[in-house]
Amino acid sequence: MHKSLEQVWENCLQLIKDNVSPQNYKTWFEPIKPIKLENKVLTIEVPSQFVYEWLEEHYLDLLRKTIKLELGVPGRLEYSIVMENINNSQPYTVKFPAKNSNSLKNASVAMPLDISSTIRNPFIIPGLKKLDVDSQLNVSYTFENFIEGDCNRLARSAGYAVAGKPGGTSFNPLLVYGGVGLGKTHLAHAIGIEIKNSFPNKTVLYVPSDRFMHQFVDSVKNNSQNDFVHFYQMIDVLIIDDIQFLAGKEKTQDVFFQIFNHLHQNNKQIILTSDKAPVDLQGMEQRLLSRFKWGLSADLQIPDLETRIAILKKKMYVDGIEIPNEITEYIAMSITSNVRELEGALISIIAQSSLNKRPITLELAKQMIDKFVKNTVHEISIDYIQKVVCDYFDLPLEVLKSKTRKREVVQARQLAMYFSKSMTKSSLSNIGIHCGGKDHATVLHACRTVNNLMETDKKFKTYVSDIQKRIQVHDK
């Protein structure tokens, strides 16, 4: 009595179930469909080339043994792979390997197969293999150049642990958060570089969140979302910088959730940076926030005086510059906000000395620091703008973010939106989220209303001028 196609595949699945974890079974084997059994050759349909390659890389021996037990020694397995045709939204089936997958739909071969990845890579030309992915890491951002202090000890130690055992610690994901210029990006790159040095075969990728979003949008336009997802699912260590910019981007969050789950389930390391702790990230889906909390969230704080001095001395050592201690200490005491400004002040003093052929003295340092502090544009946050506006009108912040339509509250809310658009780099949707969950059209309307009122209402124009001065006082 001959077994039916369904019976053969069901028997195979029972054997596979006994040899893999429930999660891996659900991810890799449940989506497979048996489509033909002929002359001891079982043909199965897998949902993508990526799944095919994963099966070949991780479950080849298991599949061979299973087929042999079920169909005997002559038993063979062939794949039918569902590929997306770029010129046609309908998927079609192709059996590998095929010299031209768009035209040869019936070429088939028994396993094992040997093909190169043709998944579209957003960073390099299509067709290169996984190991050819450029990590996008900045080689100057190393652990050696990252000065440790009380302000960053936890984050640095966790980062070093992750670099020594990517995907194998409880710090997965590792989320590093803190204000502007405190070293989030530097630390993220340092972890990636250390992993690349210790584990050359691991694929490490650093990507800013805005680039991730643009790539996703392009994949939607090109009808290549599957390629986009599969590319990111192949990465061993994924580093995404400024995750807060995904706020309000529902579709991008959906696809990132899909990628995050796959990587985490397969013990791949995820490293994220943010300007806020997970609990303060607005406009982010709860299911993502809950996953951010699975690992470790470590903050970077403003460096203390000793750490600021150490940072300056390290910078001078790397650049081969010598400056008297009293000047180094003066710079460190004068610039307290962040590392980026600290190094910027040092560069300004060195440049002034070099251009004018003047020795670096304490007097020169004082002159340059005064100019530097006055001319430095500090990054203003939406939260700070809202605080200034609420203080000006003596309103509680929660009222500004509420749904009330009282005239004075609506006016304050519109002013907060107006200044957020003109004085921050935030998107309209992100501004709307911070102002009580409004959409981008509401923010645009608020900005137009403020501009119109400034032209017709002198009292309102005074409000705008006063609030702007208050914000800029903080900014200097």
pLDDT for the residue 105 = 31
Q: What is the pLDDT of residues 91-106, one digit of tens each?
A: 444 444 333 333 223 3
Work out the average pLDDT over 55-70.
Answer: 84
- Model pLDDT for residues 362-417, shown as the tens digit of each residue: 777 777 777 766 555 556 778 888 888 988 888 888 888 888 888 889 999 999 99
pLDDT, tens only, 2-52: 778 888 899 889 888 888 887 778 878 888 889 888 888 888 888 776 677
Confidence of residue 132 (pLDDT cuts 50, 70, 90): low
* pLDDT beyond 50 at 112: no
Q: In the chain, what is the straight-line distance between the N-terminal and C-terminal CA atoms, in Å?
A: 86
Burial of 413 (0-12, 13-18, 19+ CB in 10 A): buried
Contact 467, 474 (CB under 8 A): no
Q: Where are the domains of the chain?
A: 5-94, 153-300, 305-375, 382-475
Element (H, E) at 300: strand 296-300
Give the pLDDT of residue 234. 85
One DSSP character per residue, 284-317 reads: --HHHHHHHTTSEEEEE----HHHHHHHHHHHHH
Q: Are 91 and 84 in contact (CB under 8 A)?
A: yes
pLDDT, mean of residues 351-363: 75
Q: What is 5-94's CATH superfamily? A: DnaA, N-terminal domain (3.30.300.180)
Per-residue pLDDT tens for 415-457?
Answer: 999 998 888 777 787 788 888 888 888 888 898 899 888 888 8
Q: What is the pLDDT of residue 153?
A: 84
pLDDT for residue 191: 93
The residue with greater pLDDT, 76 or 85, is: 76
Within 8 A by CB and 6+ apart from 299, the residues are 154, 155, 176, 177, 178, 277
Is it the case that residue 107 has pLDDT exceeding 80?
Answer: no
Could you read off the pLDDT of 206-257 as tens digits, one per residue? 999 888 888 888 888 888 888 888 888 888 999 999 888 888 888 888 889 9
Homologous superfamily of the 153-300 domain (CATH):
P-loop containing nucleotide triphosphate hydrolases (3.40.50.300)
- pLDDT (0 to 100) of residue 118: 42
Please tell me the distance from the alpha carbon of residue 172 to that of residue 167, in angstroms, as a whole number.
6
| pLDDT score for 372 | 66
382-475 folds as Chromosomal Replication Initiator Protein Dnaa; Chain: A; (1.10.1750)
Look at residue 189 in the predicted model and tell me its pLDDT: 94
Contact 424, 381 (CB under 8 A): yes
Of 292, 288, 233, the closest CA to residue 265 belongs to 233
pLDDT digits (tens, 9 = 90+) for 152-210: 888 888 898 899 889 888 888 899 988 877 888 999 999 999 998 999 888 899 999 88
Interval 120-147 mean pLDDT: 67
| pTM for this entry | 0.55
Provide the pLDDT for residue 379: 62
**Count of Cβ atoms closer than 10 Å to residue 362 Cβ:** 12
- Per-residue confidence (pLDDT) for residue 194, from 0 to 100: 92
pLDDT over 70 at 146, yes or no: yes
pLDDT of residue 387: 85
pLDDT at 373: 63
The listed CATH number (1.10.8.60, 3.30.70.270, 3.40.50.450, 3.20.20.410) that belongs to domain 305-375? 1.10.8.60
Residue 166 phi/psi, 5° resolution?
-60, 130
CA distance 265 to 23: 8
293: tokens are: 């909390």
**Largest CA-CA distance found in the chain, in angstroms, rounded:** 99
State the average pLDDT over residues 270-292.
85
Q: Is 176 helix (H, G, I), strand (E, B) or coil?
A: strand
